[in-house]
């Protein structure tokens, strides 16, 4: 199966990729959200010339070749562009076989337990707990993630005592009955993170995500060693050697690669395999309702060290207006706290033609 065309449908916020072979077979993928238009330019300039005319039977070999050829550009944007190609290749390989992607990587379709993931820091603790309780009643969620501190905040909170109050309010509402997770988004120094971590432990939280600046591995490991609560991290990492170091040195208890940030499904499978070799679970980052969460659902149905649940954003079009009308049908219907990987070819979804028609379009062909 030789790649003949690479097409992109892009807005500033989100971008889909379609690859087509000489036989007319096609597959859909996605570059990460946010500045997707910039990532699309990288795709055409530094990825498409290497991919066009090549066979897709070994996606990892092709992705590795492009990474090595473009070795002077080791950063995030190239990996983001590669994710669009890689995820489209997996869809392309699955459709003619009439199999879901998860089946090609050793898994089966079926339900995936999800945690309700809040993206808000401007919400009051009582309001946060209230909407989580409603989700428990209406959708059956039994796991919830809240935000603590401020993003890259140098120990600052969104407002005084918000984090302490949030922990207490959520603990009263759910403690001991549901899984509670907290995400600091690189806010804290080790000392403050340990202090917050002990509060979380007292509040019966089970996961503490990205407590320190994510690039400071030793700070995060210091926090992990001081706490009983599981420390999570890795969503921003796109370089496999850094992943190897993070895993070998046991910087975190649970790894959180993002399929789109890491460079695609193939590279994320490499991270999950590294983690499995050290006995670490993999609970990927998937913080919006574009295709990245769908990719993650297929991954979790296949890897042996899948974490306890999928990250499922609870923010709708009022918070992420660009999420509106992406798909012909919502692939993230929740029942009893679970979403389902469909027994349908490829990623098991269709992108809304009306959305495609209004997106910026580009094509590169052999």
pLDDT digits (tens, 9 = 90+) for 97-143: 999 999 999 999 999 999 999 999 999 999 999 999 999 999 999 99
Question: What is the model's pLDDT at position 279?
Answer: 98
199 pLDDT more than 90: yes
pTM of the predicted model as reported, rounded to 2 decimal places: 0.97
Question: Among candidates 109, 59, 141, 77, which has minimal Cα distance to 294?
Answer: 109
Mean pLDDT of the chain: 97
Average of per-residue pLDDT across 269-287: 98
Average of per-residue pLDDT across 181-208: 98
> Is the CB of residue 235 less than 8 Å from the CB of residue 227?
no
Written in H, E and C, the secondary structure of the chain is CEEEEEEEEECCCCEEEEEEECCCCEEEEEECCCCHHHHHHHHHHHHHHHHCCCECCCHHHHHHHHHHHCCCCCCHHHHHHHHHHHHHHHHHHHCCCCCEHHHHCCCCCEEEEEEEECCCCCCCHHHHHHHHHHHHHHHCCCEEEEECCCCCCCCCCCCCCHHHHHHHHHHHHHCCCCEEEEECCCCCCHHHHHHHHHHHHHCCCCEEECCCCCCCHHHHHHHHHHCCCEEEECCCCCCHHHHHHHHHCCCCCEECCCHHHHCCHHHHHHHHHHHHHCCCCECCCCCCCCHHHHHHHHHHCCCCCECCCEEEECCCCCCCHHHCCCECCCCCCCECCEEEECCCCECCCCECHHHHHHCEEEEEEC
Question: What is the model's pLDDT at position 356?
Answer: 98
Q: Which residues contact 137 (CB under 8 A, 6 or more apart)?
A: none
1 pLDDT more than 90: no
Q: Which residues contact 327 (CB under 8 A, 6 or more apart)?
A: 349, 350, 351, 352
Q: For strands 207-209 and 230-233, give the pairing.
A: parallel
Question: What is the model's pLDDT at position 366?
Answer: 80
Burial class (CB in 10 A: 0-12, 13-18, 19+), 165: middle
> For residue 311, how far is the Cα from the chain centroid?
8
Separation in Å, CA 323 to CA 92, 121, 144, 330? 24, 20, 21, 11
What does the pLDDT look like over 355-366, one tens digit per residue? 999 999 999 998
Average of per-residue pLDDT across 314-342: 96
175 pLDDT more than 90: no
pLDDT tier at 247, thresholds 50, 70, 90: very high
14 pLDDT more than 90: yes
Average of per-residue pLDDT across 169-177: 93
The fraction of the chain above a pLDDT of 70, given in percent, is: 100
Average of per-residue pLDDT across 343-356: 97
Question: What is the model's pLDDT at position 315?
Answer: 97
Question: What is the model's pLDDT at position 140?
Answer: 98
Supply 49's token pair: 């010339």
pLDDT tier at 176, thresholds 50, 70, 90: confident
């Amino acid at each position: 199966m030789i790649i003949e065309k690479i097409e992109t449908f892009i807005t500033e916020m989100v971008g889909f990729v379609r690859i087509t072979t000489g036989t007319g077979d096609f597959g859909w993928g996605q570059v990460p959200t946010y500045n997707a238009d910039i990532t699309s330019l990288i795709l055409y300039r530094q990825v498409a010339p290497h991919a066009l005319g090549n066979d897709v039977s070994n996606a990892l070999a092709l992705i590795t070749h492009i990474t090595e050829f473009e070795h002077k550009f080791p950063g995030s944007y190239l990996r983001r562009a590669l994710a669009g190609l890689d995820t489209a290749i997996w869809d392309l390989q699955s459709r003619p076989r009439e199999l879901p992607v998860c089946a090609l990587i050793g898994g089966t379709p079926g339900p995936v337990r999800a945690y309700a993931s809040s993206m808000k820091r401007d919400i009051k603790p009582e309001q946060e707990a209230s909407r989580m309780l409603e989700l428990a009643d209406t959708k059956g969620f039994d796991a919830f993630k809240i935000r603590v501190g401020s993003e890259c905040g140098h120990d600052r909170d969104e407002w005084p005592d918000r984090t302490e109050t949030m922990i207490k309010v959520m603990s009263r509402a759910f403690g001991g009955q549901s899984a509670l997770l907290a995400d600091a988004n690189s806010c804290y120094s080790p000392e403050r993170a340990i202090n917050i971590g002990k509060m979380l432990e007292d509040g019966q939280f089970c996961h503490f995500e990205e407590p320190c600046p994510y690039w400071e591995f030793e700070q995060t490991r210091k926090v992990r060693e001081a706490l009983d609560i599981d420390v999570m991290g890795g969503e921003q990492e796109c370089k496999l050697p850094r992943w190897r170091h993070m895993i070998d040195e046991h910087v975190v208890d649970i790894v959180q690669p993002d399929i789109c940030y890491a460079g695609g499904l193939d590279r994320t499978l490499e991270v999950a395999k590294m983690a499995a070799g050290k006995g670490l679970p993999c609970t990927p980052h998937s913080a919006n309702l574009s295709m990245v969460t769908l990719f993650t659902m297929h991954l979790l149905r296949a890897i042996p060290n899948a974490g306890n649940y999928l990250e499922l954003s609870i923010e709708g079009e009022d918070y992420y207006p660009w999420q509106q009308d992406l798909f012909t049908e919502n692939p993230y219907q929740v029942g009893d706290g679970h979403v389902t990987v469909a027994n349908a070819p490829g990623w098991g979804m269709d992108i809304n033609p009306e959305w495609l028609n209004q997106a910026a379009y580009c094509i590169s062909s052999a």
